[in-house]
Structure 1
Amino acid sequence: MTSSVFETAPPDPAGYLNRVAGSELGRSYKRRMLDELAPRPGQTVLDLGCGSGADLEALAAAVTASGTVIGIDHDQHMVDTARARAAGPATVDVRLGDLHDLPLPDDAADRARTDRVLQHVADPRTVLGEIRRVLRPGGRLVMGEPDWETLAVDHPDGDLTRAYTRHVAERVIRNAGIGRQLPRLAAESGFHVPEVVPVTPVFRDVRAADQILGLERCTRRAVAAGYFTAEAARTWLTHLTQGPFLATVTFYVVVAEA
């Protein structure tokens, strides 16, 4: 089932986050999120689910020495990585914490962001309620999440594409439809939602797509879960490596105001 085209070993989680952040796709949507967040000098900004800390430096530059950037992540390895990465600016504070129970008082921040985090949490509503609690009146939250049910990979056999997408949505991602759900969930959590920006990256190179999507690894998991037979999986992957390649998924940037 394997091919030299595909990455077969799972990347280190922090390395994967850095890879996405450094890609053309990552740089593009992160710029849009930063523009929408519009952090100002002197403000307190939260990076919730900060991961490896790829965005802390840009946030620190925006708030300047008079502001504060607080990164929070539930994984100690990520916290350690982010702290090392952000060791320079005194304005950056990285903490271990659960987004369902933020270690912050009420009305503690002017801005908050989440980036591909809510697709993985146990209860997005609880997280949004916590963010609403810690944002000051008039504060702004910017969220970026994919909608994995919009994942489309071109293949002559549409049934194989549907099986692959269904597996990703049902078994790989906990909250696969969170992208399209975010405006409603934010409104139900007490936010005003002035803007929703769909971003649809188009992958034309199978290697570049695999670096983000893990095509072969997900296919192996789909076989184990019964979505593909081994033969169907070979058919699926072989065409992806040989034919003209195209894949897309819709990513939503959602702006919410407290």
Structure 2
Amino acid sequence: MPTTLGTPSPDQAAYMLRAAADGASRAYKQQLLDLLDVRPGHTVLDVGCGPGTDLPSLAERVGDGGTVIGVDRDPAMLDRARQRTAHLPVVDVREGDAHALPVEPGTADRARIDRVLMHVADPEGVLAQLRTATRHGALIGLAEPDWDTLVVDAEDLDTSRAFTRYTASEVVRNATIGRGLARHASRAGFAVEAVLATTPVFRDFADADHMLGLGRNMQRAIGEGRIDAARGRQWFTSLSEGPFFASFTLVTVVCSR
């Protein structure tokens, strides 16, 4: 049996760009962009912009008279974002934390935060920052997975359940933030306008291993004594041997200021 399961931990910028290129990701991102109704001349704030995945599409919507502000705290992500948008003068990439946004109050007509709240220390504090940074009447788009809904098909159902429980309880900081988005947004003082759910489906084992961390997280669970080593490795091996299926629920909320 191998001592290391699956693919190694990926470069985070490359991981995010690959995730955004997935068909299901493109669909929900386009849906969120349409619901935000970004118009020429708008100032749009993208919190946790990462390597700048969505900045070009936002820049196209705001036109020459608008502004797109991308914020991230990771210098490597900021470098990639600046490289990707160097030809777009309306894009302003800034270093900053989501808990202390580097923008003046009432700056943005539109704001988005995509798969970031699941990682932060204080989701409601970040939403409060978004409320401060946006103008009256602004629209805010939020998109987060609910990792408690992760399912991985395998004959060894008990090990699959142990793996998904471990992922939700130990791997992701705020694993159920998706289902609570509307509640958190309301508490932050936003009016919830729409709540939607999509279900990304993975049928390619290698792609799922890379994107969902099947092997990496199983190795971690084994190392922490949460799952028996032989059983966990057999579970992982079996996933590659036949038709593969995994999915989770991703929740999108659009709210107004």
Say whether the fold is shared (TM-score over 0.5).
Answer: yes
> What does residue 256 of structure 1 align with?
255
Pick which of 220-229 and 38-47 moved more: 220-229
Segment drifting more, 26-35 vs 130-139: 26-35
Question: Shift in Å at residue 193 of structure 1?
Answer: 0.6
In the aligned structure 2, how far is the partner of 1:2 from the partner of 1:22?
30
* In structure 2, C-alpha distance between the alignment counterparts of 1:17 and 1:205, rounded to whole Å: 18
1-structure distance, mates of 2:76, 2:237: 37
Q: CA deviation at 1:243?
A: 2.7
User: 1:7 deviation in Å?
Assistant: 4.5
The 5 Å alignment of 1:187-202 reads 187-202=186-201
Name the CA distance, whole Å, in 2 between partners of 1:206 and 1:3: 19
Which residue is equivalent to 1:75? 74
Distance apart, 1:200 and its partner CA? 0.4
In 2, Cα distance between equivalents of 1:176 and 1:139: 28
CA distance in 1, matches of 2:245, 2:153: 6
Contact 2:139 2:254 in 1 (8 A): yes
The aligned residue for residue 151 of structure 2 is 152
Is the partner of 1:167 in helix, strand or coil? helix
Which letter does structure 1 place at the counterpart of 2:239?
A: L
Distance 1:39 1:210 in 2: 35
Q: Using the TM superposition, give the Cα deviation of residue 10 of structure 1 relative to its aligned residue in structure 2, in angstroms.
A: 1.4
Instruction: Write the deviation string for residues 149-200 of structure 1: whole angstroms up to 9, x where unpaired.
Output: 0001112222111110111111110000000011000000000111111000
How many aligned positions are there?
257
Q: CA shift at 1:48, angstroms?
A: 0.3
Structure 1: runs of 5+ lacking an equivalent: none
Question: 1:24 — aligned with what?
Answer: 23
CA distance in 1, matches of 2:41, 2:3: 51
* Moved beyond 6 Å, runs of 4+: none
Letter aligned with residue 69 of structure 2: I
- Cα distance in structure 2, aligned partners of 1:150 and 1:133: 32
**1:27 CA displacement:** 1.3
* CA deviation after TM superposition for structure 1 residue 214, in Å: 1.7
Which residue matches 2:35?
36
TM-score by length of 2: 0.96
CA contact (8 A) 1:222 1:228 kept: yes
Number of the residue aligned with 1:115 = 114
Equivalent residues of 1:2, 1:216 under 8 A apart: no
Letter of the structure 1 residue corresponding to residue 130 of structure 2? I
Paired residues for 1:132-143 under 5 Å: 132-143=131-142
In 2, Cα distance between equivalents of 1:7 and 1:52:
25
> What is the alpha-carbon distance in structure 2 between the residues aligned to residue 204 and residue 76 of structure 1?
34
Percent identical among aligned pairs is 49
Between 203-212 and 141-150, the greater mean CA deviation after superposition: 203-212
Does the 8 Å contact 2:7/2:210 carry over to 1?
no
TM-score (normalizing by structure 1) = 0.96
Secondary structure, aligned partner of 2:179: helix
The alpha-carbon deviation at position 55 of structure 1 amounts to 0.5
- Local SS of the residue matching 1:252: strand
Checking the alignment, whether the CA contact within 8 Å between 2:7 and 2:209 is kept in structure 1 is no
Partner of 1:239: 238
